[in-house]
A and B are shown apart, each in its own frame.
Chain A
Amino acid sequence: ETGVTQSPTHLIKTRGQQVTLRCSSQSGHNTVSWYQQALGQGPQFIFQYYREEENGRGNFPPRFSGLQFPNYSSELNVNALELDDSALYLCASSPFGGSGNSPLHFGNGTRLTVT
């Protein structure tokens, strides 16, 4: 069984730039959720993708966008990076789409630093 994989593991960007983070879901999982975890905080829900469509969104501005592909992998795009976007970005997959009732399987995350 292949777990959730994320790339890259670390990234340094400059304020105003754009970034794309990638995630491959665990085999058999059709749903991908993205979370932002600032240092010392709990993960904050960004959005979830199910059947290639956004299924729920947290309190994040439109410059945070995403995609899900037919093979269930996903991308998180962030435009016009701000210093406060520096965080660990976690991708999580789950086997049953469409609700907040499925346990999440997290990847190791991408550590984004914005300077």
Chain B
Amino acid sequence: GQQVMQIPQYQHVQEGEDFTTYCNSSTTLSNIQWYKQRPGGHPVFLIQLVKSGEVKKQKRLTFQFGEAKKNSSLHITATQTTDVGTYFCAGGGSSNTGKLIFGQGTTLQVKP
């Protein structure tokens, strides 16, 4: 079945350093979504990418969707302690169902 893999699983950075997490799907995706989950919280929607090669920015966050629509990345510039949490990518398949497949997440720790 469809799988979505994320690397790395954990990342510890010093405040001010950059951070990148990568997401790869075993199948072509209709869209990719990114969510952030703070410790003890629930996933919160960040962004959705739909087009091949799409790049979107939100302040210090840059999201990319691969040309083949099978991979994606999230890059954070100059991390802050407020960026702490687990970042999940979630892929939508081509079938007309509500199924979103989540990766296992990348947990980011930021040292002040």
State yes or no: do A and B come from one complex.
Answer: yes
Report yes or no: B99 in contact with A45, Cβ–Cβ below 8 A.
yes
Which residues 100-115 in A have Cβ within 8 Å of B in the complex? 100-109
Contact between A99 and B97, CB atoms less than 8 A apart: yes
A98 to B92, CA, bound (A): 12
A41 interface residue per 8 A CB criterion: yes
Residues in chain A within 8 A of chain B (CB atoms): 31, 33, 35, 41-45, 48, 50, 55-56, 58-59, 90, 94, 97-109
**Docked complex Cα distance between A97 and B101 (Å):** 17
Q: Compute the total of residue contacts between A and B using a CB distance below 8 Å.
A: 79
* Contact residues in B for A100 (Cβ distance below 8 Å): 30-31, 92-93, 95, 97-100
Interface residues of B (CB under 8 A from A): 1, 6, 30-31, 33, 35, 41-45, 48, 50, 88, 90, 92-93, 95-105
Closest Cβ of chain B: how far from A10's Cβ, in Å?
Answer: 12
Assess the B99–A56 pair: CB atoms within 8 A. yes
Query: Which single residue of chain A is at the shortest CB-CB distance from B102?
Result: A42
In the assembled complex, which residues on chain A have CB atoms less than 8 Å from the CB atom of B31? 100-101
Contact call B98/A55, Cβ cutoff below 8 A: yes
Contact between A58 and B42 (Cβ–Cβ < 8 Å)? no
- 19 sampled A-B residue pairs with Cβ under 8 A: A33-B100, A41-B104, A42-B103, A45-B102, A55-B98, A56-B95, A97-B98, A98-B96, A99-B92, A99-B96, A100-B93, A100-B95, A100-B98, A100-B99, A101-B30, A102-B98, A103-B45, A104-B43, A104-B45
